[in-house]
Chain A
């Protein structure tokens, strides 16, 4: 099992450009999450999907959109990137319900210039 995979691993964008971060899991998990990690701020939840077909905002959703394409895949889109979105982005998944055991992907390092 690959677990949680993310693409790309690294990306550099110019301000105003758009891009989609891809995430897939092969553990048949119901819930999926997108976080960003910044120095001094820890991990902050951007959006999550408790089950296929549903998405909800987390702590810092502004400037992002998500799509739960199917049970396996959960994508994060930046429509018009800003330097404040420079961060490391992590996707995670869990069985759902009691979500304490979240499995994280390796992360995407995004720089917006």
Chain B
């Protein structure tokens, strides 16, 4: 079993929709969780991070961790075509990141 599982998608939504991207994890030792965004043929870039439980909001983005069910979510409000990318979740274990496979999101006008 992979330590971080993520539905690969693609997820296709209309502009303005609320998007929910989700991961599950199995390693209880993860101290932080990260969301990276990766545009096509580019390197990943950090979007947000949260500690091991709770919510964090940054503009249109909200990251949520439910430690009891080992579930990580990223919500995007008022989605835009420029949000079309692959979103990678990752757990942080001591000095290493463990990534999920990524979910491809397409936002159409």
Question: Using a CB–CB distance below 8 Å, which chain A residues touch chain B?
Answer: 4, 31, 40-45, 48, 50, 58, 90, 92, 96-107
Contacts and interface: CB of A to CB of B under 8 A. Distances in A.
Given A45-B97, A107-B42, A99 B92 contact: yes
Given A42-B102, A43-B88, A98-B32, A50 B95 contact: yes
B95 A106 contact: no
Contacts of B32: 98, 100
Interface string B69-98: 000000000000000000010001001110
Contacts, number: 54
Interface of B: 4, 6, 8, 32, 34, 41-46, 49, 88, 92, 95-97, 99-102
Going nearest first, the 7 A-B pairs with the smallest beta carbon separation are A104-B43, A42-B101, A43-B99, A42-B99, A100-B92, A100-B32, A104-B44
